[in-house]
Structure 1
Amino acid sequence: MAGSEGPLRLRDWLVAQIESGRYAGLSWEDADKTSFRVPWKHAAKLGYQAQQDAALFRAWAVYKGKHLEGTDKENPSVWKTRLRCALNKSADFCEVRERSQLDISNPYKVYRIISEGTQGPGTILPLEGQPGLVSKDEDKQSPSRLAQEGSLLPATLGPSPLADHGYQAPGPTHSWSSTLSEDFSNPDFWLHVRLFYGTALVHEATVRTAEGCCLSPRAIPANAAAEYLLGPQPRMARVHFPEPPPGAGALRHLLPHLERGVLLWVAPEGLFAKRRCRCRVYWRGPLAPHRARPNKLERERTCQLLDTRRFLAELCAHLRAGRPEPEYQIRLCFGEEYPGPPDQPEERLVMAYVEPIFARNLLLHSKRLGSETGP
């Protein structure tokens, strides 16, 4: 199925499965083939037959090399979680929750295929002279590889711009600091997160998992995490908002509305987010459509917050032509519009500052080289 061009990305693979007609319940939802149904029967439901009801999930696991025929144990729930994770994290799909039917005898979910040309929050036009960004499978290419291609970065950066993996967050580093790690040694996908209540830094963490993290107010039992969050894989880190101090009534009222959290992850194309919580979330960053007024994260939609190629192009311009440093920090504001009117303070009740470590390290590396080679 992969063909001479190598493995298919999820979008092309799924379309091929729909067109094949070999999976009961997997079908197009409309004549224009922009939406499709995925059979979604729960294993505890009466009449569940794993051989039929988990066939699509199993096929994806086999295709991705996550299940070896005749060797690995049959595990339909894990297969289902893997495909759900892939769908939720892909920028090619958006679940149409109002059209999904999960309470019928043959339940299904509906997903819409997002057009290559669709532009929404967090979508950017290619830079002048730069090719358009093509979504790729998440296993293909890492940001450090992108940084070494062609003339994206000056030759003085050397062959390994991420060789120095040391990272110190700006601002205070004290007892709130922690590392969320699965011993994942590739810093291209690490994140640094700082949580603030007002002006106070209340939690700080370096996330060292390939799957990213979920910002949420409380711990979730491990056996319920996948179903509860509807997306994170078991290795996705949890970054928790701490218990508010006594008397902080507004905080105690807001945090329960963040319960399903916000997912954050780094892919080869850049930094992405998906809001799962009921609470409104506003963001500021290099791809924000508006600079002087709020940008809302739409619920259940994957939003690109930072573009790897754009960051590298802007870093080149900074090093070669003295242009401003590329922006890479993302600010998330929970429950309040951000930014507010000019006469209001910058701080809000609950905020998160997020930095992809590959971007910060590249900038620090270029500064270090600049100081070493300067006059």
Structure 2
Amino acid sequence: MEAKMHMKEWLVAQIESGHYEGLSWEDESKSMFRIPWKHAAKKDYKQTEDAALFKAWAVYKGKYREGRDRADPTMWKTRLRCALNKSTDFQEVPERNQLDITEPYKVYHIQHDNGSARPAESPQTKDQAVQALSSPEDPAVLVQQLRCQKESFHRSKEEVKPLPDVTMREHMYCELTGNKTLNQSPSTIPFLSPTLTISDFRMQVTLLYQGQRVMKVTTRSPEGCFILQGRVPLGNERIYGPCSAQQLSFPSPGSVALPPWMAEAMNRLLCHLERGVLLWVAPDGVFIKRFCQGRVYWSGPRAQHADQPNKLEREKTFKLLDVPTFLSELQSCLQGKGSTPSYEIELCFGEEYPDPNVPKNRKLIMAKVVPLFAVELLQRFNLGEIEEKRPDLTPNTEGEKM
């Protein structure tokens, strides 16, 4: 694994990127720089912009994982401030600080070993560049952050060895039911163990126009998939690397026999679904982030309402399914204490959903998302209406268009 950049290299990369408003060189020789320092109590404080640099440092250091950890802008700022104070490469210049203006900032002097303030132009690794220039509001960069998180997860997972002389099916049964074996008395085996950590990130995604299936795809990228109109607006591929999240573009309304007025309404809706949504499966759940202007509503295991609309806010990460909850419900079901856990997720684009007054087969555009780890767990124990809901588990890279 390539070593990460030191803080000095990382921070210089941020300044040179021009990505963060207010972060800039203070002098032509590039020996000092300004860093924005707005207090969170200010009325015009905006977390997205004013905490962006502090958040990027937390992501780079592995202290914050998008979609998994609680956002804490105050802690992000504290971490960066402490790192600057502890580092011998930086020295605050208090006489140049401007903390009482509309856009307050601090000034730091930066030391370079060779006496030059200009950063060395040695090539960066892809991971270094991605983290150095990360922006959580950019779909392409969010994909890269997910990739880094999952690579880290897989590295840690490789250190876990399965229990000897126990088949996967029997061990999972023991874990979920509390029995020593299929025919023995209960034991105290802990429920959540490393062997039950979710590592299957595939999803079956079905797109429907007015209840008619127009696409059915089994996604295979660990970075998840975009559902959108057009293509993902990517940044510099040399910096961010190629976008490996699978891209599912909405088919033309002409692929379904619709009345002219309905096709026209659908075309108008599709115009607002550029950038779309990004869906992904992580070890602790299924997540989504909406980037498009068009509204998106959903239903699923963690939905707040079952009989009224659940809206996805733009640029905000939502957890649609919680893996520990699903496994706990599966354990209760196998012990005869509960029903089969739910796992299917429905998205409705441009129209409120769930809507008790309008059946879902009359909604213009919907998507059904099925995480395959859940399906396979239920199949192992012969639970649920498997034949009706069974996805096509054969390789499917291009997807099926109807």
TM-score, with normalisation over the residues of structure 2? 0.52
Match of 2:358 in 1: 344
For 2:267, the equivalent position in structure 1 comes to 252
1:200 alignment partner in structure 2: 212
Deviation at 1:302, TM superposition (A): 0.4
The corresponding residue for 1:289 is: 304
Q: Does 1:242 align with 2:251?
A: yes
| Cα distance in structure 2, aligned partners of 1:305 and 1:90 | 21
Q: Which runs of 4+ in 1 moved over 2 A?
A: 7-19, 21-24, 49-52, 76-91, 136-142, 144-152, 154-162, 224-228
Shift of 1:339: 1.3
- Among 117, 129, 133, the alignment partner of 1:80 is 133
CA RMSD after TM alignment: 4.8
Partner of 2:281: 266
Q: Find the counterpart in structure 1 of residue 376 from structure 2.
A: 361
Return the alpha-carbon distance in structure 2 between the equivalents of residues 307 and 187 of structure 1: 14
Seen in structure 2, the aligned counterparts of structure 1 residues 141 and 212 have a Cα distance that, compared at 3 Å, is: same
- SS of corresponding position for 1:195: strand
Quote the offset at 1:256 in angstroms. Answer: 1.0
1:139 deviation in Å? Answer: 4.5
Partner of residue 153, structure 1 = 176
Alignment-derived partner of residue 82 in structure 2: 19
**Is residue 214 from structure 1 mapped to residue 226 from structure 2 by the alignment?**
yes
SS of equivalent to 1:153:
helix
**1:77-111 deviation line (CA, Å, top 9, x unaligned):** 785258767984799xxxxxxxxxxxxxxxxxxxx
Partner of 1:9: 62
Alpha-carbon distance, 1:354 to partner:
0.5
With structure 1 as the length reference, what TM-score do the two structures score? 0.56
- Deviation for aligned residue 1:225: 2.3
Offset at residue 330 of structure 1 (A): 0.4
1:215-255 C-alpha deviation (Å, 9 max, x unpaired): 002235xxx52479xx9961111011101117311110100
Q: Which residue of 2 aligns with 1:51?
A: 119
Post-superposition Cα deviations, 1:177-230, rounded to whole Å, max 9, x if no partner, equal xxxxxxxxx96111110000011100111110110011002235xxx52479xx
Residues 160 and 199 of structure 1, relative CA distance in 2, 3 Å threshold: same
Contact 1:217 1:258 in 2 (8 A): yes
Amino acid at match of 1:363: L
1:194 is paired with a residue whose SS is: strand
CA distance in structure 2 between the partners assigned to 1:254 and 1:322 by the alignment:
44
Q: Contact between 1:190 and 1:207, CA under 8 Å: does it hold in 2?
A: yes
Are residues 18 and 273 of structure 1, via their aligned partners in 2, closer, same or farther at CA, if it must alter by over 3 Å? farther
Please give the secondary structure, in 2, of the residue aligned with 1:316: helix
Q: CA deviation at 1:19?
A: 2.8
One-letter amino acid of the counterpart of residue 344, structure 1: V
Could you list the runs of 5+ residues in structure 2 that have no partner in the other structure?
5-59, 65-74, 91-98, 106-116, 163-167, 183-192, 387-402
Whether 2:135 is the aligned partner of 1:66: answer: no
Look up the equivalent residue of 1:153 and give its one-letter code: L
What letter corresponds to residue 345 of structure 2 in structure 1? I
Correspondence for 1:278: 293
Deviations 1:134-167 (A, max 9, x none): xx9544557x9899799752366999789xxxxx
> Is the alpha carbon distance of 1:138 and 1:51 closer, same or farther for their aligned partners in structure 2, counting shifts above 3 Å?
same
**2:340 alignment counterpart:** 325
Query: Contact 1:264/1:273 (CA < 8 Å) preserved in 2?
Result: yes
* 8 A Cα contact 1:191 1:207, kept in partner: yes
What letter is aligned with 1:249?
E
Residue of structure 1 in register with 2:330 after alignment? 315
Q: Secondary structure at the match of 1:336?
A: coil
SS at match of 1:358: helix
Counterpart-to-counterpart distance in 2, 1:269 and 1:308 = 5
Q: AA paired with 1:51? A: P
Q: How many residues align?
A: 256
1:287 Cα deviation (Å)? 0.5
In structure 2, the CA distance between the partners of 1:280 and 1:227, relative to structure 1 (3 Å rule), is farther
| Distance in 1 separating the partners of 2:140 and 2:63 | 8
Counterpart AA for 1:235: S
C-alpha change, 1:260 and 1:354, in structure 2 (3 Å) is: same
**d(CA) in 1 for partners of 2:278, 2:78:** 26
Asked if structure 2 preserves the Cα contact closer than 8 Å seen for 1:190 and 1:356, the reply is yes
Match runs of 1:107-146 below 5 Å:
138-139=150-151, 141=153
Unaligned runs of 5+ in 1: 25-30, 38-48, 68-75, 92-135, 163-185
Change (3 A) 1:218 1:205: same
TM superposition shift of 1:274 = 0.3
